Structure 1
């Protein structure tokens, strides 16, 4: 019996990645991350910015809180998209990626919001937890080391053991 979390870093819900607690809302979290990737045209786990954001979700939250959410949209789209739909998608994605599972919507609510049948509530989160260098500096470095080791390791069991130690 495997008692450790299995999945891809950057897509696993925090409650599952950290404590192995799996609920149906873990998939909602993953859906939100993939939705952000689609809109931004960027990979969540490979996103590194000069501003020091931890991941794509971190950048999206800051842009949303500062009223610049449209900056997240993939620039390769130019003007070939519906701005209202893009904003709706990003706001729904941010709801889905709430660090706590309780406020995340269920998938039927997500569908209703994406289809415009129900309004999308505003995302409100304390962004200071994402910008705290003491908390995330070490985590960012550890994640970089693990990803580097996984890419260069020919021993999958070694990589799995490193991930278990998180």
Structure 2
């Protein structure tokens, strides 16, 4: 039996009933987005378009306005590059295709500015929660599992990562390494 909190449970863990390294990375990504956005993973009171944090941030990312998701209680007093990086890493970790998610080592490198941001698709085909895996009942305000599946977009590897001290090629240990790009 798989136990987990709605909103943090990866789609594949919800449908297969098994936790994995990738599902842990997914949960980390949700927490990263919660920190940056200052809201819960699932907020039924926000209206249908904004209930699911991950879907809402993906939508803003797709139109080039990811910073609009920042916690309004910060009153704009934050380093835009850092918070944007945190949100993009959060999206990367919550990629609907579990094989496209990073390893935590890659997350740390990107968050420390030792590696470039991943090259993510502008939109996910399918939804993390609302139409593919969960539905929210307006009466119960609790997500119910659904059994529909979803597909996602893929990205390609475009180069090597580098830091100010050395240049390191990303080994394609994980397919998510292909999301990193450098110029």
TM-score (norm 2): 0.69
Instruction: Please give the secondary structure, in 1, of the residue aligned with 2:135.
Output: helix
Counting strand residues as a fraction of each chain, which structure ranks higher?
2
**Gap change, CA 1:91 and 1:126, over 3 Å in 2:** closer
1:140 to 136, 143, 146: 136
State the Cα distance separating 1:126 from its structure 2 match.
4.4
Counting helix residues as a fraction of each chain, which structure ranks higher?
1
**Gap change, CA 1:68 and 1:126, over 3 Å in 2:** closer
How many residues align structurally? 145
Mark the runs of 5 or more structure 1 residues left unpaired by the alignment.
149-161
**Gap change, CA 1:125 and 1:17, over 3 Å in 2:** farther
Equivalent residues of 1:48, 1:55 under 8 A apart: no
What's 1:157 paired with? Answer: none
What's 1:42 paired with? Answer: 39
What's 1:14 paired with? Answer: 11
- The CA RMSD over aligned residues, in Å, is 2.9
Equivalent residues of 2:11, 2:96 under 8 A apart: yes
Equivalent residues of 2:37, 2:70 under 8 A apart: yes
State the Cα distance separating 1:71 from its structure 2 match.
0.3
Deviating above 3 A after TM superposition, structure 1's stretches of 4 or more consecutive aligned residues are 125-128
Equivalent residues of 2:43, 2:50 under 8 A apart: no
What's 1:55 paired with? Answer: 52
Equivalent residues of 1:92, 1:120 under 8 A apart: yes
**Gap change, CA 1:32 and 1:126, over 3 Å in 2:** same
